[in-house]
Structure formats: C-alpha cells, structure tokens
Amino acid sequence: MTAVMQSKILVADDERHIAEGLQMLLADDGYEVDTATDGKAAWELVQKGGYGVVLADLRMPEIDGLELFSRMRKAGIPSEVIIITGSASVDTAVEAMREGAYDYLEKPLNIGRLKALLPKALEAYKVKQANRSLEERLANLTRFGDLIGQSEEMRKIYDMIESAAPSNASIIVVGESGTGKELVARAIHDKSTRAKGPFVAINCAAFPREILENELFGHEKGAFTGAINEKPGCFEMADGGTLFLDEVAEMEPDIQVKFLRALEQRSFRRLGGKKEIHVDIRVVSATNKNIQRAIDEGKLRDDLYHRLAVIPLHLPPLRERRGDVRILAEAFLRRFSEENSKPIKGFAADALEFIHTYRWPGNVRELKNALERAVILARGDEVTLKDLQAHDQIGGDDREVRISVGTPLEQAERTLVLKTFSFVDGDHGRAATLLGIGEDDLRGRLSQFLAPETAAAS
Ligand SMILES: Nc1ncnc2c1ncn2[C@@H]1O[C@H](COP(=O)(O)OP(=O)(O)OP(=O)(O)O)[C@@H](O)[C@H]1O
Ligand SMILES: [Mg+2]
C-alpha cells in the first residue's frame, strides 16, 4: 500500500454525503483524500497540484466536471481524471474519455469497480510523470539558451561561452553563414553580468560607408544636410550592455581606424560633435569570412582584428557535427508543427535518409528553412522527402533566370537576387529564405544593387 499512499486523491461531488462517504471509504484503504462539494472549490484545490487522481462528478453547479477536466488539461495539470456520472450522461463521459479522461463510473457507484480502478489510474499518473520529467531533462540537456545541439563540438562552444561570458573580453565568432553566430552572441550577452543591459546588433555589411559611420557613432543636429535632429548611434545605445557587430570584416578601412580608436578608448564623438562620449560596452563580433585572407588582402586591419579577437570562437559547420542534425530537425519539426497547428508526428524514412546524408551547405538556417517549408507543405502526419525538397523546384517562366556562360559573377548574383526579390513581391523574409542567406545579408545586397547612385551621393 505504500506506493498508493504517496498519491493524493480529490473527490469532487456536490452531493456532500457521496463526497464524504468516499473519503472515509478510501481513507480506510490508506489513500489520502480531499473533498470538494462544488466545481469552483475543486478547481482551486486542483491548481495547487499534487493529486494523482481526481474523481469528478459530471453535474456540479458553476463549474461542472467536464469544465473542470478541460480547465485542467489547458493548464497542463497532469492528474488523471475519473468522471462520475448518472446514466443519462454516459455519452458525455465517454466523450471526456476521448479527450483523455482516464475512465468513468456510473451512479450509483460500484465500490468494487472504483477500488479496482484507482490503483491503475494512479499508476498511469506516475508513469506519465516519470516520462514527463525525463523528457524535460533531455530537452534541457540538448540545448543551451536558444542553441540546440549536444555534439562534442557544441558542448565545447557552450563551455567557452560559459567561461568567457562574465568577463569583458571582446569575442569574435567565426563560422560559415547560418551556423548560429548571432545566437551565440546573444547567449554570451544573456550569460554575462550585462544581461539586463541592452543588446544592440548592427550588420556592418548592410550599410554603405557613410551610413554605417552614422549608425555606429550617431550625429549631432546639423552635422550634415538632413540631420534635423541629434541621433545616438549603436555605441551609445549599447551603453551598459553588449554591442554585436555582424559581418565585421565588411567594414571599410577608414571606418576601421575610427572604430579601433573608439574601442581602445571606449569613447568617441558623434558626427559633427565635439564632446567625447564615454561608454561601458562589451563587444562581440562575427564574420563568415576567412579572417586570415581578409587580413592578407588588406580588407581587415590586423590591429583591429586583435582587438576584437581577444577570445575567438569557431563555430563548426553543421556537416562537421552530424550528430546535431537529427536533434535540430526534430526540434524544428516540433516548433513549426506547433506554430502551424499541424499534428505532424515525425519523418518518413526517405526524409530522414535525406536529412542525414545531405551536406546542408547553408547550415542550420537551411535546415530550419527547409523544415518550415516542409511542415507547411506536408499533407499527412509525416514529413516526406518530397516536402523537404520542394524548395529546389521553383521552375516555370517568371521563375527562371537565364544567365549565359561568362557572365561576371557579380552581375549574375545581382540578376538572381533582384529576380527572386520581385518573384516574392518584395517580401524580404521569403526572398532571403529562397536564396539561403540571412535577411540582413539580403538587405545589404539589395541596397548595393538597387541604389548605387544614392549610396555614393549620401
Ligand atoms: N544551434 C542552433 N540551434 C537552434 N537554432 C539555430 C542554431 N544555429 C542557428 N540557428 C537558427 O538558424 C538561423 C541562422 O542562425 P544565425 O542568424 O545565428 O546564423 P549566422 O551564423 O549569424 O549566419 P549569417 O552569417 O548568415 O548571418 C537562425 O534562425 C537561428 O535561430
Ligand atoms: Mg548572422
């Protein structure tokens, strides 16, 4: 009986003699029993938790047994529910069972049946509890902040984030596009003592030179034509928090000099300003470029790099941490089927095979996008290979780009990007998804392709 005694039971029945009668009877068998004589009182007790089984009369004033059961399910209260019903309402009780009630008992109660049912319901409750906490533990094991993955490589990254975050050291995150550099930057911020301060991100590739300078340092009123008001830049906005510089290798050389000075002194002037402004910031930067090459080619200043890279963090591409592919795929499947209210259970065998063998050159972003599309397209309760590969088959007339052999790469890229952008009617998110690049990256390219004259003139 000891196992039974660990779980409490609630009897909710508006007929007081039934509630109290059951309480006495079950207490004799060693159960710990509470009673409630209306649905409202029952709901209050149930919310405090701890009941393995709730015996709920179907007909009670205000909150009836069915309503009580449905509230419990919505609130995620895991107690098993046994419905007590008069013979006239058996249909309703059966309906409740379809929704997950454990069983029902008809009035007048057959005590023998109740006594046989209770230990089984309690056992079901316990099994459910055990599975639940196991699932929670597993989910926690496989993630770190918003980062999912438990490969050896990712664990090393988590360890480094954990130990580097509390310091003020500049961290540069290096990795291919779509490997999660921005998520890592956020995790660093969240684990740092600055977590409550601002996290300000700026994409250095997204702006032409003058605009980037303005974005970084801000300006005083009247600093240039059009500067009607003063405007603080990212440096100021990140005061007390973290400044995240994405695609840092794309900064123009003369801004790099100015930037380096600001970093070294933790102070700068707004454009058109005389006053030195001091800030307390931690800098995290990211690049998907080969840094040594960028330095050798004179694109990235050596001294700036060393400033930024007190701690370098290398994020490996997805194909070098194959073990994470399945975990990520399952996590995205769950996320997108919830978001789209589609009850998708898992992957068909051919889809799994593809997920495991494909190279995922666009890394986690590509996997994520492919799964979002697949979930939306899926017809049955499984994602199939066809759903996954749909994105490769745009096809059709205005869906085609003709590029002849010998076209300069830059021009080919321009054509492809602009055509894709117009194909999706200017939807940045969709265009970026189709092109397999980040939205910021897309905006950067578009501003370059669409307005070269204005950019040069500003
Ligand atoms: N380990 C991960 N767990 C969960 N989601 C991830 C992970 N890595 C990346 N993602 C998701 O993939 C997408 C791309 O990630 P992110 O923007 O951080 O990549 P990135 O390395 O900054 O790419 P880019 O160089 O193109 O800017 C995001 O939607 C992000 O949420
Ligand atoms: Mg990024």
Of all atoms in ligand 1, which is nearest to the CA of residue 203?
Answer: 27
pLDDT for residue 164 is more than 70: yes
Closest CA to 189 of 210, 161, 208, 216: 161
Tokens of 224: 């240039």
Q: Which domains does the chain have, with CATH numbers?
A: 2-139 (3.40.50.2300), 149-316 (3.40.50.300), 319-392 (1.10.8.60), 409-457 (1.10.10)
Tokens of 225: 């034509």
Percent residues over pLDDT 90 in the chain: 55
Ligand 2 center–CA 447 separation, angstroms: 18
Tokens of 292: 């040594």
Q: Are strands 32-36 and 8-12 parallel, antiparallel or unpaired?
A: parallel
Ligand 1 center–CA 442 separation, angstroms: 15
State the ligand closest to the CA atom of 185: 1
pLDDT of residue 399: 62
Full strand arrangement of the beta sheet holding 282-287? 199-203, 242-246, 282-287, 171-174, 311-314
Nearest residue by C-alpha to atom 26 in ligand 1: 177
pLDDT digits (tens, 9 = 90+) for 215-267: 999 999 988 888 889 999 999 999 999 999 999 988 888 899 999 999 999 99
Q: Which residue has the higher pLDDT, 314 or 138?
A: 314
- Rounded to whole angstroms, the Cα distance separating 78 from 56 reads 15
Of all atoms in ligand 1, which is nearest to the CA of residue 173?
Answer: 21
pLDDT band at 105 (very low <50, low <70, confident <90, very high): very high
Q: Which residue has the higher pLDDT, 206 or 195?
A: 195
- Rounded to whole angstroms, the Cα distance separating 358 from 328 reads 14
Characterize 237-249 residue by residue with b for buried, 16 or more Cβ atoms within 10 angstroms of its Cβ, and e for exposed.
Answer: bbbebbbbbbbbb
Ligand 1 center–CA 388 separation, angstroms: 19
pLDDT of residue 233: 93
pLDDT of residue 252: 86
Ligand 2 center–CA 154 separation, angstroms: 17
Ligand 1 center–CA 183 separation, angstroms: 6
pLDDT digits (tens, 9 = 90+) for 370-418: 999 899 888 888 999 988 886 554 434 456 677 777 778 888 888 888 8
Of all atoms in ligand 1, which is nearest to the CA of residue 246?
Answer: 27
Asked if residues 57 and 12 have their Cβ atoms less than 8 Å apart, the reply is yes
pLDDT band at 320 (very low <50, low <70, confident <90, very high): very high
pLDDT for residue 1 is more than 50: no
Mutate to test the pocket of ligand 1, among 250, 368, 435 (most ligand atoms within 8 A of CB): 368
The residue-averaged pLDDT of 4-26 equals 87
Which residues, other chains included, contact 343 with Cβ-Cβ below 8 Å and sequence gap of 6+? 337, 381
Percent residues over pLDDT 70 in the chain: 92
Nearest residue by C-alpha to atom 13 in ligand 1: 365
Helix, strand or coil for residue 455?
helix
pLDDT of residue 342: 82
Pocket around ligand 1: residues whose beta carbon is below 6 Å from it?
147-149, 175, 177-183, 286, 288, 364-365, 368, 438, 441
Tokens of 35: 């009673």
- Looking at residue 318, its amino acid is L
Of all atoms in ligand 1, which is nearest to the CA of residue 183?
Answer: 18
Asked if residues 312 and 268 have their Cβ atoms less than 8 Å apart, the reply is no
pLDDT for residue 331 is more than 80: yes
Nearest residue by C-alpha to atom 29 in ligand 1: 365
pLDDT band at 337 (very low <50, low <70, confident <90, very high): confident
Nearest residue by C-alpha to atom 12 in ligand 1: 365
What is the residue-wise DSSP string for 152-211? HHHHHHHHHHHHHTTS---EEEE--TTSSHHHHHHHHHHTSTTTTS-EEEEETTSS-HHH
pLDDT band at 427 (very low <50, low <70, confident <90, very high): confident
Of all atoms in ligand 1, which is nearest to the CA of residue 179?
Answer: 21
Question: Long-range contacts made by residues 61-67, C-beta under 8 angstroms, separation at least 24?
Answer: 61/14, 62/38, 63/38, 63/39, 64/39, 65/12, 65/39, 65/96, 66/92, 66/96, 67/39
Ligand 1 center–CA 363 separation, angstroms: 8
Mutate to test the pocket of ligand 1, among 179, 203, 284, 330 (most ligand atoms within 8 A of CB): 179
Q: H-helix or E-strand containing 83?
A: strand 80-85
Helix, strand or coil for residue 148?
strand
pLDDT digits (tens, 9 = 90+) for 60-75: 988 999 999 999 988 8
The residue-averaged pLDDT of 82-88 equals 87
